[in-house]
Structure formats: C-alpha cells, structure tokens
Amino acid sequence: NAGVTQTPKFQVLKTGQSMTLQCAQDMNHNSMYWYRQDPGMGLRLIYYSASEGTTDKGEVPNGYNVSRLNKREFSLRLESAAPSQTSVYFCASSEAGGDYGYTFGSGTRLTVV
C-alpha cells in the first residue's frame, strides 16, 4: 500500500524555470492538499482540492497553479520559479473534510538558484 506518492524527491531549478510536482494517492481519498514547509514557518497551505473537479487557494497560492487530474492525482506547477519558492513541498490527502487527519507524502525538496 503506497499511500501518497510524490515525485520528484529532490529538484534544483534556475530562476525563471518551470516545473510540475506530481502527487498520487491510492487510498480513494476525496480531498488532496499541497503544503510548503519552511524553517520557522511551519506547514502553510498552498492549494487544496476538496473533491475531484474542484480546487481552492490556501494561505500562500501566489506563484503556483494546481490541477486535479482525477481522483488519484493532484499536481502543483511553478510557472516561473523564484528563490523565494525554495522549500520542502508536501502533498497530503484525506477523507472528505479531513475528520481522520491527513496522510502525507514523503516530500519534494526544491531549491531555486
């Protein structure tokens, strides 16, 4: 049982480059989330998808776009990477509403130079 799978695990980008972070879950969860984690800042919500076909902005959406491709997959795109987007990115999924908490993927460590 893989749970939540994120790719890639590590990535170095140059300023202005674009990339897509991939996330897939095999738990039949309705809701999926993208967080970023920075030292001293905790986990901050970027975007989330409460159910297939819907997406909503979180606390820090600027510079990002998302796509809920189907029930399993939720991708995060950086169109023009900036050094301020250097962070660890976590994807998570949950039952609708998150009553049982979230299951997190292993994370993507992104460095923008």
Nearer to other proteins, 14 or 62 (CB): 62
- Closest approach, Cβ 16 to other proteins, in A, equals 28
3-state helix, strand, coil in the chain (%, to 5): 5, 50, 40
Residues near other proteins, by CB under 8 A: 31, 33, 35, 40-45, 48, 50, 56, 58, 90, 97-107
* Angle formed at CA 56 by CA 52 and CA 59, multiple of 5 degrees: 140
- φ/ψ of 98, rounded to 5, equals 75, 25
Nearer to other proteins, 14 or 97 (CB): 97
- Closest approach, Cβ 6 to other proteins, in A, equals 9
Nearer to other proteins, 64 or 90 (CB): 90
Nearer to other proteins, 20 or 106 (CB): 106
- Closest approach, Cβ 33 to other proteins, in A, equals 7
- 105 in Cβ contact with 91 (< 8 Å): yes
Per the DSSP assignment, residues forming a β-bridge with 39 are: none
- Closest approach, Cβ 41 to other proteins, in A, equals 7
- 112 in Cβ contact with 91 (< 8 Å): no
